[in-house]
Amino acid sequence: MVRARRFDVLVFLSILLVLGGCVAPVTPEQSTPTDASDGTVGASAQTPNSVGTPVASTAPVVTVTVVDVVDGDTMKVRYENGTRDTVRLLGVDTPETYGENTPDEFEGVPETDAGRQCLRRYGEQASEFATDTLDGRTVRLGFDENEGRRGYYDRLLAYVYLDGEQFNYRLVAEGHARMYDSQFVERTRYAAAERAAQEANRGVWNCATAAADGGSEATETVTESNDGPLRLSLHADAAGADGDNLNDEYVTLTNTGSKSLALGGWTVADAADHVYTVPTGTTLASGESLVIHTGSGRDSDTDYYWGRNSPVWNNDGDTVTVRDETGTTVAVHRSG
């Protein structure tokens, strides 16, 4: 009888082992989907890239495609099943481009026409930045346990992740937006990023120094990064409203050397990394100048046109950096 009992136990254990081998462990991707937007799309939570967020609850859970950027903090997206939605970015507020700006929402920005105009310019730049970065891209959305799923206008409130990086945070860190005053879980991290941007006078926080009379005059002072022959000057403050007179906003490149400069493939960039590339074959003879206008027109021997639809250079101070075709800095101009 003892042998029979031992045999029965062995058989029972063998059956358990076989059954255990047939059951695969549950992975995060196989877990129950998380509702994304009223049941439209669901996906499981994944561990975010460390660049994205340290808060696990805000990790990306939904995949969408950005089909239109409304402004710096609002965009339209398409879900994988073809339905569409409007997303308002959590925790951030970029300056208005369509409505009137309220300077006192941006700490230190003067309650003047100059302050409001400066905010509008940076609002346009934030919109361009969001368009250049996100339009047409596949991104992931995360949500916030302290905020409702939808806002006052029924827009989806979300964090947007591109390649594992949280775009909302990047807007604040790079000075494209202020931190929105609410109780979202990322608030502490965003507040630190905003302080750093303010202290560096980065992006929209340049508006804190806007003069009450409409901004500082453009300066022709040149600060060079080396002893090369290229000289730069910046005319940032166009006559009237900058956005209505883009070709009166320009950078001038002058060759003070004794030999011609082959500029093809060289780049001209501002502090926010808007980049113009000089056309191939461009040569600047000794003593000659080339003017690069922000707006549109037909290039000539002396004047080139960037072809942008909104201002680039900040009236209250900016940095012009010229690099050659290898990416080496040739000259730097700082104003303001």
The SS3 call for residue 12 is: helix
**3-state SS class at 160:** strand
Among residues 78, 96, 217, 325, the one annotated as catalytic is: 96
Nearest C-alpha neighbor of 186 from the set 152, 157, 159: 159
DSSP string over 41-103? -EE---PPPTTT-S-GGG---EEEEEEEEEETTEEEEEETTS-EEEEEETTEEPPPSSS---G
> Given 155, 187, 202, 231, which residue is catalytic?
155
Respond yes or no: is residue 325 known to be catalytic: no
Which residue in 144, 150, 149, 154 sits closest to 190, CA to CA? 144
How far, in Å, CA of 71 to CA of 120, rounded?
A: 12
**Beta-bridge partner residues of 232:** 253
Identify whether 220 is a catalytic site residue. no
Do the beta carbons of residue 240 and residue 256 sit within 8 Å? no
Give buried/exposed letters for 216-248 (b at 16+ CB in 10 A, else e): bebeeebeeeeebbbbbbbbbbbeeebbeebeb
Q: Three-state SS for 334?
A: strand
Can you tell me the distance from the alpha carbon of 308 to that of 118, in angstroms, rounded to the nearest whole number?
18
Residue 99: both structure tokens together: 């409505």
Indicate if 88 belongs to the active site: yes
Alpha helices by DSSP H, the chain: 2-21, 113-134, 167-173, 187-199
Q: Are 252 and 290 in contact (CB under 8 A)?
A: yes
Instruction: Give the catalytic positions in this structure.
Output: 88, 96, 155
